[in-house]
Amino acid sequence: MLTILVVCVVSGALLLGAAWGIFWKLPKELEGFLIALAGGALIVSSLSELIEPALIKTSLTLVTVSVGIGAAVFAALDWSVAKKFGEDSGGGLLISITLDGIPENLALGVALIGAGPMQVAALAGSILLSNLPEAAGGAKEMVEKQSKVQVFALWAATSVLLSAAAVLGNMLLASVSQSYLAAIRCFAAGAVIASLATAVFPKAYREDSFISGIATALGLLLALALGELGG
């Protein structure tokens, strides 16, 4: 029950962000700052709550290969979406954000296996922070071509899909051996890190220029603080 609650709160940030983007104006500088803040936090949480626990259960070689495969698969899918739909189209934007969100939410579901919500506080908090500005910015662009009701409905469906990825990942992988679970965690971490490099940080810099560097550093510190709460 606590796992479902954590997942719903994190994915619910997509709905809040979408409503923010549809009905209120989100300054670009603030959007960029929040995206960079979340990105910095996700770097730390991916390492501390996905990769480091995996190293305890398996070898450095398997961790390295799994992270690399996760990053490569995400990059290939991201390239395919951009080529087919275009990065600036409403559909392409929604698919890209969904593609970004699936490894994050899968990682959250897997990280919650055998752990309490506070033990993955940094990862959950980082994903929540990233969902808010991403949804706000995406919904703001989409509402220029579609009705507000249609856009909000699409984001609601996306929120349900990403919640399902986290919950199913948690339920279906709970009985998997520790070595396989470690590989899955690292695969998800690799995909998350690739999304930060190709989507999150470039957008943060475009929106907020050099202040995004400060926001990223603050995000790292925030994730460390959240990690201490769960420690």
Note the pLDDT tens digit of each residue in 113-141: 876 666 677 888 888 888 888 888 888 87
Note the pLDDT tens digit of each residue in 47-101: 988 999 899 888 999 999 999 999 999 999 888 877 776 655 555 666 777 777 8
Residue type, 72: A
User: How far is it, in rounded angstroms, from Cα 96 to Cα 83?
Assistant: 11
H or E segment to which residue 134 belongs: helix 121-142
Asked if residues 56 and 114 have their Cβ atoms less than 8 Å apart, the reply is no
Residue type, 169: G
Residue that the structure tokens 């051996």 belong to: 177
User: How far is it, in rounded angstroms, from Cα 116 to Cα 149?
Assistant: 36
Mean pLDDT within 167-174: 82
